[in-house]
Structures are given as C-alpha cells and as structure tokens.
Amino acid sequence: MKILTRENTILSIMGLTFGFVFVDRLSINFLMPFITQEFHITNAQIGFLSSALSVSWAISAYFLSHFCTRFGRRTEVLVACVVLFSIFTLLSSIAASFMLLVIIRILMGIAEGPVLPIAQSILLEESSDKRRGFNMGFVQNVSSNLFGSVLGPIVLIFVAEHYGWRHAFLVVGLPGLIVAFLIYKYVKLQPHSPVIKEKKTEAVPFSLKRVFQNKNVVLSGILSCLMVAWMFSQLTFIPVYLTKIQGYSGYQMGSVMSVLGASAVISGLFVPMLSDMFGRARVFRVFTLIAILCPLSVLYLAGNQTYMMISLFFFYFGLGSIPIVMSIVPSESVPRQHVVGTLGFVMAVTELLGGFSGPAISGVLADMYGLNAPFYFAAGVAGIACLGSFLLLETSPKFKKRVGEDMHQPATTQTLGR
C-alpha cells in the first residue's frame, strides 16, 4: 500500500495546521495557574478570557469562510491566517496586563477562525468516500489533541515552571510559521475538472436562508454547541480545580491533561471511523452518553489520581463525537460547493454558543457556587446532546438515507475555487 499519496500528504499538512491552532488555543488553559499568580484574576475572568477568543473565532469563521465560498483563494487565506495567529501567540508573551492579554486573544481568534472550515473543505475534496470520516476526524481531533493536549501541557508547563509563562508562549508561536511555509509550498489544489451541468445545483448560491432550511445542519450546529461547551468547560477549569482545590502540583495537573490529550487522540481516530462503519447518528449518541461521566470523574475521583486518570481516559472518548456534528454531518448534508460556507456557519454558531457561553457560564457558576459547578454544568450539556441526537438524520454514504432536498444532489466543486 502506497503511503505517500496526495491524500495522505494533504491530510498530514492539514493535521499539522489545526494541531498548532489547538496548541495556541489551549495554551492559555495550561498556563492559567501561572498567569493568575501575576494578574490575580477571578474565575469569571478566566472564563471570559477563553470566551473572548471564541467570539472573534466565530465571527471570522463565518465571514472568511463565506469569502472563500464566493471568491476561492483558500490556500492564500489559510497561509495568512496561520502566519497571523502565530504572531499573535508570540505577542502574548509581552502582555503587561489582563486586558492586553484579552485583546491579543481576540485578534488570535480572528486569525484562527477560518482554519478548520478551510482545512475540512480541502479534505472533503481530497478524501475517498471510505476515508472521509476518518480523515476529517483525524484533523479535528487527533492532530489537534496530539499537539494541543498531549504534548502541549508537558512542554508548556515545563517551560513555565523553569522559565516563566511568557517564555512558554514563545515556544508555542514559532512552529506555526513553519506550518505556513508547508501549506504555501505543498498544498496546490488541482484545477477542477469539467462536470455534467446540473442547472438546479449550479444556479443556487450559498445563503443563510438555505442553511436554516436544512434541519440537519441546524441540529448539527446545536449539538456541536453543546459538546464544545462540554469540552471547554472542563479544559478551562480542570487545571484550576486540581491545583487550587485538590492541591495537585503543576506536574500532576499536566499529567492529567496529557491523559485527556491521549484519549482525545485515540477517540479522534476511533469514533469517526466507527461512524463510517455504523452511521453518524448512532455513534454520536453512544459517545455523548459516555461523555456525561467525564466531568463527574473529576469531582468524585480526584482524591485518587490514578483512578481518576483511568476514568478520564475512557470517558473523554466523548470528544470523538464532536467532528461528527461539527464537520462530517454538515458537509454531507449540503451540495459540495456550499461546504466551506456551511462549515463556517456551523463553526461560528458553535463558537458563539458553545465556545463562548460554555466557559463564561462555567466561570460565573464557579464564582457563585464554587469550582465544582463547571463540572456539573458540563455533565448536563452532554446529557442534553445525547437526547438531541435522536433527532439527527443519518448522512453516511454507506447507509444511503436521504437528508433534505440537498443531500443527494450531484456534488460539484466548480465554485469552491483554489
């Protein structure tokens, strides 16, 4: 079997790209115990710091993805975004106040927002049907968590403890510039070959009205919001909870976060692959049910680090369900020329209602009721997502079920552009 195929090359580069996006995004969570010592911020401010990035991420995800849908230029936009978010990460190292750090994170979110929709649209073109779920899950979960959640906490906490948290941001920002060069050098999208004209498909432009008419896309956005709120509520407050309430050292906390990262890497391969085999809706339902137990493990097993880490490893498999509703189902529910815009819309809604509201609500609850509250909140939203999954319509090519009027229109990539 040939390994160095075009499909695998594109997969590797897109994986590196979103991997370093996630390192940049999660770095603030791992470094928060060190940052709070200097800036003395509240739990609500911790949640706001994460939420502010989510808002700017959401806005740019929609508008820049819509720009790519209309005008193309995907590779150029992607390279520019990777360069910019790397620069803003480097600038985080010189933030002199909490508000300056917030501003830098907002600018970083603007640069990072369209990266995943563009990367997933490129993968959709370059992937074979039997590997579509695997490839999209690999980029969104495996590479992101291998770099962001496994290697990230180990390297960043080591640097922060020995050299200070500001130096840790320098370590995070530099690799992104290398990734930008790889995209520029090797991601050359092929000209689209002529396709059989389908007037109905070609004539219909992308619009928000059509997105809202597609019930499966709307439901996917809602479920994605819930599961992203589940994820960020935990990632934002596990480091603070373990160090402040349970008395964990920085090294112990980093070990726990690395276990979550290892679980995310494996589930990112395993869960989307299962959705290729058994269907998107059924697999999503099972793993959101498992996700309910993850935040409860932090609360009830933190007294025994070994038991907690084992439980978290398995229950955090719920993370593997997120690409199903954030990328795979929406991309299979619309004509291919609308995929970038649709994924940008889903990403924007997810970031606004999940990425912003999740940490913000958790921070307020933590100040009102204590640091246990964010974990009960996370368990609750996972339970709601599990119930909502019964309304999700199947989109896997293997099962051949119709999803709305757009589902099985002939796919065309003419309007996607470079």
Q: 58-84, pLDDT tens digit by residue?
A: 888 878 877 776 777 788 888 999 999
394 inside domain:
yes
**Residue 36 and residue 30: Cα distance in Å, rounded?**
11
* pLDDT score recorded for residue 377: 96
- Residue whose token pair is 């992308």: 206
Q: 278-302, pLDDT tens digit by residue?
A: 888 999 999 999 999 999 999 999 8
Query: Which range of residues forms the domain containing residue 73?
Result: 11-185+206-402
Q: Are 231 and 387 in contact (CB under 8 A)?
A: no
193 inside domain:
no
407 inside domain:
no
pLDDT class for 409, splitting at 50, 70, 90?
very low
pLDDT class for 348, splitting at 50, 70, 90?
confident
253 inside domain:
yes
* pLDDT score recorded for residue 186: 84
Q: How many domains does the chain have?
A: 1
Backbone angles phi, psi at 72, to 5 degrees: 80, -140
Once rounded to an integer, what is the mean pLDDT over residues 47-54?
76
Q: 295-340, pLDDT tens digit by residue?
A: 999 999 988 999 999 999 999 999 999 989 988 888 888 877 777 7
Average pLDDT score over the chain:
82
* pLDDT score recorded for residue 382: 96
pLDDT class for 31, splitting at 50, 70, 90?
confident
Q: How far is CA 367 from CA 31, 41, 42, 235, in A?
A: 20, 12, 8, 17
397 inside domain:
yes
35 inside domain:
yes
Q: Which residues of 152-182 are buried (b: 16+ CB within 10 A; e: fewer)?
A: bbbbbbebbeeeebbebbebbbebbeebbeb
**CATH number (domain holding residue 383):** 1.20.1250.20
408 inside domain:
no
Q: Which helix (H) or strand (E) holds 377?
A: helix 373-388
**Residue 375 and residue 80: Cα distance in Å, rounded?**
37
178 inside domain:
yes
Q: 165-223, pLDDT tens digit by residue?
A: 899 888 888 888 998 999 988 887 654 433 333 344 444 566 667 777 888 899 999 99
* pLDDT score recorded for residue 201: 42
| Percent of the chain clearing pLDDT 90 (strictly above) | 23
